Amino acid sequence: MDRLNIIGGAELNGRIPVSGAKNSALKLMVACLLTDEPITLTNMPSLADTRFLAQLLETLGVEVYWPKGESTCHLNAAELKSTIAPYEQVRKMRASFNVLGPLIARSGHATVSLPGGCAIGARPVDLHLQALEAMGADLKVEQGYVKAAAIRGLKGAHIVFAMPSVGATEHAMLTATLASGETILENAAREPEIEDLADCLNKMGAKITGAGTSTIRIQGVEKLHGTTHAVMPDRIEAGTYAMAAAAAGGDVTLDGCPVEALGAMIAKLREAGVTVDADEAASTLRIRRNGTRLKAVSVSTQPHPGFPTDLQAQFMALMSVADGTSIIRETIFENRFMHAPELQRLGANILVRGQEAVVKGVPHLTGAPVMATDLRASVSLVIAGLAAEGETVVNRIYHLDRGFERLEAKLNACGANIKRLSGEDE
């Protein structure tokens, strides 16, 4: 199993290109199921998760042309040969569950495995299923599968979410495009990725307004057509590299950065003493720290436009070396502090109390072997390793490959010393 060997202590200087957003790309790929015409997605990130989903789409009958190393993916669902998404594929990645609604909307029936467990909490699909039922889908859960039918088609509905779930909002929006009549989603999630999906669907002929606000309206249409769409840049990847530069010190510019989507993070970095130059027009974010120690800053994760839960672990790594005490509250997912014990192995002083962590900054961290527990936790250990003295080895980095494209290459180009080791090197 691959692992990363990191020699810490080097400043980062240079430019890092931001890849397409994983969380947007996955739902954009699913949109191909809604039409029998070709969809072309550019700025596609080549990740374990996006490649897993491509395999599932091929199982359903989608023609996928996406050569390795290329950022353009061609999808053609002219004929679906199956409406069954098996457990062996859905269990690899939760987002693949979102094929359920589009399959019902296109074919009138579908059988999709429930997604497996997740290291960062329960994350149930109840809100997804409630939205589909509201649109007229007849659902049964049997032997770990959702068996769904809407023989007379789906109908528009007024859906009020119990919480602003990103996945449920996107799933309902995808499905409602082909439902008859108007669907209104209230207490909808407001993440930029939802706006990106709505933009693509509208290019395909959908009639969606209000994406990015808490109320989204979808006027159903009879048919969608093909289109070409560029995946938005990944705000979580951009935020991660910004924190890596802040932790290691130096001067790094992020190119192709979704500046507007990172307001909450930029404010916290500036509060901590990082120099941040944000140029929305040029889509660049410049991060500078000249070696002076950062100030401790507290943060609470919130739905967008608040501080993202997907940047919480990275921020904890940064605060581990700040001057003072910070309190980090996780309000989105339970059990999302599993990186704390691993950061402690590097010398961090962190006390976890339920859904909050008290981080007392230390002057420096010291390299040690650590283990990744999930995607965002794994990259927090990379950030800590860059700031630590000596050698850090991050094990189980298959988590990293799910969400970060060419991570070590991008950081090494700025002066980091990271080497990927295969299992044979042990």
Tell me whether residue 49 is annotated as binding: no
- The count of other CB atoms within 10 Å of the CB of residue 136 is 18
User: Among 168, 167, 132, which residue's Cα sits nearest to residue 150?
Assistant: 132
- The count of other CB atoms within 10 Å of the CB of residue 344 is 16
User: Among 351, 352, 381, which residue's Cα sits nearest to residue 365?
Assistant: 381
24's enclosing H/E stretch is: helix 22-30
* Residue 73 annotated among the catalytic residues of the structure: no
User: Among 168, 182, 88, 179, which residue's Cα sits nearest to residue 124?
Assistant: 168
User: Among 264, 118, 133, which residue's Cα sits nearest to residue 190?
Assistant: 264
CB 336 within 8 A of CB 312: yes
Tell me whether residue 155 is annotated as binding: no
Tell me whether residue 123 is annotated as binding: yes
User: Among 162, 168, 94, which residue's Cα sits nearest to residue 131?
Assistant: 168
DSSP labels, 69-112: T-S-EEEE-SS-S--EE-HHHHTT-GGGGGGHHHHHHHHSEEEE
CB 259 within 8 A of CB 280: yes
Q: What is the DSSP code (8-state) at residue 170?
A: H
- The encoded tokens of residue 140 equal 């049964």
Active-site entry in 32, 73, 118, 200: 118
Tell me whether residue 126 is annotated as binding: yes
Tell me whether residue 127 is annotated as binding: yes
- The count of other CB atoms within 10 Å of the CB of residue 256 is 18
Percentage helix, strand, coil, to 5, in the chain? 35, 25, 35
- The encoded tokens of residue 182 equal 């108007």
Instruction: For helices 312-319 and 375-387, give the axis angle rounded to 10 degrees.
Output: 20
Tell me whether residue 310 is annotated as binding: yes
Give the whole-angstrom CA distance, residue 285 versus residue 185: 34
CA distances from 183 to 24, 200, 212, 381 (A): 22, 18, 16, 43
- The count of other CB atoms within 10 Å of the CB of residue 181 is 13
Give the whole-angstrom CA distance, residue 62 versus residue 141: 26
Tell me whether residue 22 is annotated as binding: yes
Tell me whether residue 323 is annotated as binding: no
Longest dimension (CA), the chain: 66
CB 320 within 8 A of CB 362: yes
Which residues participate in the annotated binding site for UDP-N-acetyl-alpha-D-glucosamine? 94, 123-127, 310, 332
Which residues participate in the annotated binding site for phosphoenolpyruvate? 22-23
Which sequence positions are flagged as catalytic?
118
Which residues participate in the annotated binding site? 22-23, 94, 123-127, 310, 332
